Chain A
């Protein structure tokens, strides 16, 4: 066992609990004025905000049970000081910040610029007020991927910013799925810039995930957060993104690890029966997928130890990245990695920090 205090811990998924009120002053016009005159208020979970980023099933904070000492989650309104204090408490040396509010972007179906405006405002806000490489606080740039030109603008904005180490694609609501050629220019640019692409699941549309009528978040979060990543993994692999952009690092975040063997096995079975439908692939799709990186959170620590061991073996401990997801309701502290019985200390150090240092060129 190792003590995280004594080793580099990189948290690849810390959610800055932002508010629209914090971001709005940095948004481009006319959304800055539209927002500020709307009376929307601070957060995306209050009723009137559903018109901006639609809300999703249930109470993330489990109706008051979940409380966070170092974040204003779930209402939002964090500060840099919250992040510094939380990282210190969790023994995290480096964190990659992802907007909390952007995770709902998939609920926007209008062909307008609100997502682009939010992303640009968020990045300016974070670069001005929160991100600080000297403190180990880095960020990922959300991609308004439904608009390629806007995504290129964002990449232009962050290209020379030391504090930005990659991009994030929110997988929920991405249609067409993210293996589509439409997104090639973003992948091409990220490959050129050396930016990893982090696909991060999300809650958009969770109430009516695939079908309407689920009762509670135990159902929709179990299924929806998983499906949003699985659907994009299948698309990205089958459509040959790793063949098109062989130097692009691909990371999938926030669905744990136990789904990977099942998905890989099923997709490979399909591929052997329908190989011509994935003409760019030079090997089984599963072999590309196990070359992707995966955030460990929420790690299924209650699973049978031999199942977890199989998953780690199949993915490879050189492909696993510790992620806390703090301050979200199901966050993992570094102990989920340090307490794992079936890996050795070198694997633990790789997963906790060394892999991420390399992938994100920190």
Chain B
């Protein structure tokens, strides 16, 4: 914790897309994830069973498109949607919104991330 209300995560250059770093923000753990060149910060506590969701796999979302009656639902990984999946049971969340991909009634609280002088910070509120 810092006096200016933000928590230092580390050098931005240390993150590749898909990397995550968990930091303590106040009383909670927050995962900072880099996806599509952007940083996102989400509560590291799965609403399902309290698992360390941000320590799970970060990857493009597997989506399906139906071509019409009789056609297969063709699946592909959508690089425009990135998800993080809790390693305990697989609940998956959109890293940009924090919403569960199957039920947006479940949302991971999100935090503001700033990059200043090459260093990543999470705002505390």
Contact = CB atoms under 8 A, between A and B. Distances in A.
Interface of A: 181-182, 184-185, 187-188, 239-240, 243-244, 271-276, 278-281, 283-284
Contacts of A275: 92, 100-103
21 contacts: A181-B69, A181-B71, A181-B72, A181-B73, A184-B69, A184-B71, A272-B48, A272-B91, A272-B100, A272-B102, A275-B100, A275-B102, A275-B103, A276-B61, A276-B62, A276-B63, A276-B92, A276-B101, A280-B64, A280-B66, A281-B102
B101 A240 contact: no
Nearest to A273: B90
A181 B103 contact: no
A188 B69 contact: yes
A195 to B, nearest CB: 15
B66 A244 contact: yes
Contact of A185 (B69, B73, B106): B69
Contacts of B89: 273
Nearest to A278: B102
Interface of chain A, helix or strand or loop or mixed? helix
Contacts of B100: 272, 275
Contacts of A274: 90
A276 B91 CA distance: 10
B72 A279 contact: no
A181 B100 CA distance: 27
A181, A184, A274: which has the most chain B beta carbons within 10 Å? A181
B70 interface: yes
A193 to B, nearest CB: 14
Contacts of B102: 271-272, 275, 278, 281, 284
A44 B103 CA distance: 47
Residue of A181, A239, A275 with most partner-chain B CB within 10 A:
A275
B69 A280 contact: no
Contacts of A272: 48, 91, 100, 102-103, 106
Contacts of B48: 272
A244 B72 CA distance: 12
Contacts of A244: 66, 69
Interface SS of chain B: loop
A148 B91 CA distance: 38
Contact of B63 (A182, A187, A273, A279): A279
A244 B101 CA distance: 20
Contacts of A280: 64, 66, 73
B2 interface: no
Interface in B31-77: 48, 61-64, 66, 69-73, 75
A243 B64 CA distance: 13
Contacts of B66: 240, 243-244, 280
B69 A279 contact: no
A236 to B, nearest CB: 14
A185 B69 CA distance: 6
A127 B50 CA distance: 61
A219 to B, nearest CB: 34
B70 A184 contact: yes
A273 B103 CA distance: 11
A151 to B, nearest CB: 13
A279 B72 CA distance: 12
Q: Which 6 A-B pairs have the closest CB atoms?
A: A279-B64, A275-B102, A184-B69, A276-B62, A188-B69, A273-B90
Given A279-B75, A284-B103, A181 B70 contact: yes
Nearest to A189: B69
Interface in B16-35: none
B61 A185 contact: no
Interface in B69-101: 69-73, 75, 89-92, 100-101
Contacts of A182: 70
Given A272-B91, A275-B92, A283 B70 contact: no
Contacts of B103: 271-272, 275, 283-284
A187 B69 CA distance: 9
